[in-house]
Amino acid sequence: MHGLITGLLSVAVAQSFVLGYYTLMKHHSTVSYIQKKRDYHLLSMMKRHLSQPEGFCLLLLYLTVSWHFRWLPDSYYLLDTPIQWVDVTKQLLVQDALQYSCHVLEHVIPSLYKITHRHHHRFTNPTLFDSFHGSVLDTVTMVVVPLYITSQIVHTNHRSYIAFGTLYSSWLTLIHSEFVHWWDPYLAMIGIGTASDHHVHHKLFKYNYGHVFMYWDILCGTYKHPKMVFG
């Protein structure tokens, strides 16, 4: 149980920093918006973001059940071994490849799209608080199933799993931001997806299916540069 609590606390602390950063940026006079600025009540949106059943609540349930019933490889329960950053990178790459594949399937199969991802695509100009606003089936298909498969492919230790989960959950949130982050140009140079990349997907639906990386979009011909859409 100690291992589970440590992991959940790491994600919670990281999310607190994300929301704190986002609040500061929202009140910064020089912030650059990707699309048209949306007006909303910040505190109300934060409450919705943290309490959505299809978001953190469902992920909390999956993490708790999978840990308690030992669905993960035995190595994940090694609590006192250091973070293996190579393993963290592998987890991010595998997770994103699987999520990319599921994301594409949700879009190309109309019947699947209607019961899963359509709800999330109400937001053509998303904000950070829309990151997990969709449906339970969407989260299961595109996040939970890839998470489980990734754990079976990449056998690593507890701290590496925590590092991966913390980075992954934070990035899924940040790519839905409505403004450009200062680090975006640098990360884009090495193929990491940005908020602008993800806004292209929400605007046009058929490009930029990746979340953490743009590698799979580039390889499969589904990448479109934000400058081609937003100038």
Task: Note the pLDDT tens digit of each residue in 10-55.
Answer: 999 999 999 999 988 888 878 899 999 888 888 899 988 888 888 8
Domain residue ranges in the chain: 2-12+41-230
**Where does residue 158 rank: exposed (0-12), middle (13-18), buried (19+ CB within 10 A)?**
buried
Q: Give the SS3 label for residue 231.
A: coil
Mean pLDDT within 178-188: 93
pLDDT value for 75: 96
- Which two structure tokens, joined as six digits, stand for 26? 């929202």
**Where does residue 103 rank: exposed (0-12), middle (13-18), buried (19+ CB within 10 A)?**
buried
pLDDT value for 172: 96
Residue 73: pLDDT over 90: yes
Residue 149: pLDDT over 90: yes
pLDDT value for 50: 87
Inter-residue contact 58 to 142 (CB < 8 Å): no
- Which two structure tokens, joined as six digits, stand for 193? 């997806």
Which residue in 176, 214, 217 sits closest to 198, CA to CA?
Answer: 176
pLDDT value for 192: 97
Q: Say which amino acid occupies 104.
A: V
Per-residue model confidence as pLDDT tens digits over 193-204: 999 999 999 999
| 106: Cβ contacts below 8 Å, ≥ 6 apart | 112, 113, 116, 117, 138, 141, 142
Per-residue model confidence as pLDDT tens digits over 150-171: 999 999 999 999 999 999 999 9
Inter-residue contact 206 to 107 (CB < 8 Å): yes
Q: CA 186 to CA 112: how far, in whole Å?
A: 36
Mean pLDDT within 118-123: 94
Cα 79–Cα 160–Cα 170 angle in degrees, nearest 5: 125
Mean pLDDT within 50-73: 92
Q: CA 2 to CA 5: how far, in whole Å?
A: 5
Q: CA 1 to CA 68: how far, in whole Å?
A: 8
Mean pLDDT within 115-131: 94
- Which two structure tokens, joined as six digits, stand for 203? 């605007």
Residue 223: pLDDT over 90: yes
Residue 1: pLDDT over 80: no
Q: CA 191 to CA 219: how far, in whole Å?
A: 11
Return the bridge partners of 179, or none. 33
The continuous run of DSSP H or E covering 62 comes out as: helix 58-68
Residue 64: pLDDT over 90: yes
Inter-residue contact 42 to 23 (CB < 8 Å): yes
Q: CA 182 to CA 52: how far, in whole Å?
A: 29
Q: Give the SS3 label for residue 30.
A: coil
